Amino acid sequence: MNIKEIEQKLKFILDEKRMIHSLNVANSALELAKYYGIDLQKIEVAALLHDCAKNFSKDELITLAGNYKIEIDEVQRNSPFLLHGPVGAYFAKYEFGIYDDDIFNSIYFHTTGRKNMSLFEKIIYIADMISIDRSYPEVDLIRELVKVDLDKALIEATNSTLKYVIQRNLLIHPLTIDFRNWLLMKGGK
């Protein structure tokens, strides 16, 4: 399936706001992929599809997770929106025919992050955080850091996410804590 076909199919799955966001993430990801020497076609596919399950209801996410045999942890069961990454990875695989591991993993972990993320996964994670439609207090700093020190930008982005989650008294997924700790321990302070 080529980029135009993916975009056309997504228009039937995503609402207009989410579709615009996905196109914006693709633009950010392409810019970063050029800078960091990552395959442009693959990164564009991953960016377009990163939120392909975002418009599913909580019940649909839980049902699809079961259908795809995704192990649902306690945090995901209590905050099913966190399943849109894992469900989206399988949805991209089975509904869009995307069988690439880099694309799969970048969609799967784009919400939580994880330790030992590949450069490809990091680009999708951060492109989602800095796309032009994002406006939160730290976004300009993160946009500046992203081509200077990617890991430092990732730490700032994760810190911003954690602040948001804590302020709203939401659950924090353990993978996000692992991701942040991993970045800090590898020297991204």
Q: What is the mean pLDDT of residues 158-175?
A: 97
What pLDDT is attached to residue 188? 54
Q: Which two tokens stand for residue 105?
A: 């993993």
Q: Is the pLDDT of residue 180 over 90?
A: yes
Q: What's 70's DSSP letter?
A: P
**What gap in Å lies between CA 88 and CA 103, rounded to an integer?**
11
Domain boundaries 3-136, CATH class:
mainly alpha
Q: For 126-153, what is each residue's pLDDT tens digit?
A: 999 999 999 999 999 999 999 999 999 9
Q: For the residues 47-62, what does the mean pLDDT come to?
A: 98
pTM assigned to the model? 0.96
- Angle at alpha carbon of residue 53, lines to 83 and 44, rounded to 5°: 115
Given a contact cutoff of 8 angstroms between Cβ atoms, the answer to whether 175 and 113 are in contact is: yes
> Where are the domains positioned within the chain?
3-136
Q: What is the pLDDT of residues 105-121, one digit of tens each?
A: 999 999 999 999 999 99
pLDDT at 171 exceeding the cut of 80 = yes
With cut-offs at 50, 70 and 90, classify the pLDDT of residue 69: very high
Q: Is 172 helix (H, G, I), strand (E, B) or coil?
A: coil
pLDDT at 189 (0 to 100) = 54
